[in-house]
A and B are shown apart, each in its own frame.
Chain A
Amino acid sequence: MPEAQADVLTPDEVLIGLAREGDRGAREELFRRHVGIAHRVAYRLLGHEQDAQDAVQDALVKALKHLEDFDGRSGFRTWLLRIVTNASLDSGRKRRRRPTIRIDEAETGGVETAIQDDPALGMHRDDLKKVLYAALDRLSPPIRATFVLFAEADMSYKDIAALQDVPVGTVMSRLHYARQKLQSYLDGVEGIS
């Protein structure tokens, strides 16, 4: 069989063992296997491409440098996403002074909405992004992270609970709360059908 398939079958735990012994190839495989989801989570938390890439890189450096701290109680992906989430939220706190788009600006920013990427939604994709990230920006970091980990990373309630050190019930309550807030923001924006 081709080598690529053999790589796919190598469990993370085996790669971690090799990487701890200094195997560069194992480190690279762990990086490539998880960098995509790490990027998506960071982007959803920060709403900014360069900030997301910086946060992902910080997180991966920390994770790969401190693999001995991975105790195997959760999966490697969960452990890594905890580091990515913390790095992203730290980055978000640092850049909080940077002007952000508020939802009212996103609505009335004079953006032409005639070109629609998704006619069912009635708005251009870039405009939808502005509205969505303005809405996400109004959630507190732990609640935003709960929603992003569930909706973007498809994590189970149990894994999110382990990642955030909260009970499963709190995860579910946070998800409901986040939806209430996000949906009410979206409802207040004209143009989304």
Chain B
Amino acid sequence: MRCDEVMRELSAPGGLDESSLAEHLSACPRCMAWSAQVDKLNRVWNATRPEEPSSSAFDTMWAKTEAMVSEPEILPFVSASGWKRWGLALVTVAQAAVILIAGMYGLSRPTPAIASMHDYRVEEGTTLVVRLDGSRGVISAIEVRPQRGESDTDMVAADLDVLNYMESGPFE
């Protein structure tokens, strides 16, 4: 049994044989340390269980929920005639004009100068994730682990590193 299999089993149990697991743990200080970390996180998780709101808080929430569920859907309905219709048309034309002017102004603006420039030295074969800000340049870049020659498990972790990086914030 490999260490990465044991660690994954402790994180997300998938049915590995318990006696083999125990045998590996007793002989492997690294996996034993991981097991202790798993226990620690579990204890912190359990010690911070959210307290359930009081029954009166749930009653209030139910009353609001029921009121919102029961209220009839209000469909947008515009009734305009005569001068009102002309007024609506004028507002629409004015909005379109403002958007057009704003667009033309945006196109005519000079592109801001790049505030700073850095050289990136990247070893051949490594994966680099670069975040771009439109056409203005690089906001940030990270080198994705692992390096070449790592296991499939590490490659999955590398993919998740990218996902975590791209979807968590604030951007650095």
Chain A residues within CB distance 8 Å of chain B: 24, 27-28, 31-32, 35-36, 39-40, 43-44, 49, 52-53, 56-57, 60-61, 64-65, 96, 117-118, 120-121, 125, 128-129, 131-132, 138-143, 150-151, 157, 171-177, 179-183, 186-187, 192
Contacts and interface: CB of A to CB of B under 8 A. Distances in A.
Given A53-B57, A64-B65, A132-B45, A177 B164 contact: yes
22 contacts: A27-B66, A32-B62, A35-B58, A35-B62, A39-B50, A44-B50, A52-B50, A53-B57, A56-B61, A60-B61, A61-B68, A118-B43, A125-B47, A128-B44, A132-B48, A138-B168, A140-B165, A157-B12, A172-B12, A176-B7, A183-B41, A186-B37
A9 to B, nearest CB: 22
A117 B47 contact: yes
Contact of B11 (A24, A132, A179): A179
Contacts of A65: 68-69
Given A125-B47, A141-B167, A183 B66 contact: no
Interface residues of B, number: 39
A180 B44 contact: no
Contacts of B41: 179, 182-183, 186
A157 B50 CA distance: 23
Contact of A176 (B11, B43, B170): B11
B69 A27 contact: yes
Interface of B: 7-8, 11-12, 14, 37-38, 40-41, 43-45, 47-50, 52-53, 57-58, 61-62, 64-66, 68-70, 156-157, 160, 163-170
Given A53-B53, A120-B43, A177-B157, A142 B68 contact: no
Contacts of B170: 96
A187 B38 CA distance: 11
B37 A176 contact: no
Secondary structure of the A contact surface, majority rule: helix
Given A175-B12, A186-B40, A129 B48 contact: yes
Given A143-B160, A143-B164, A157-B12, A57 B64 contact: yes
B52 A39 contact: yes
Contacts of A182: 41
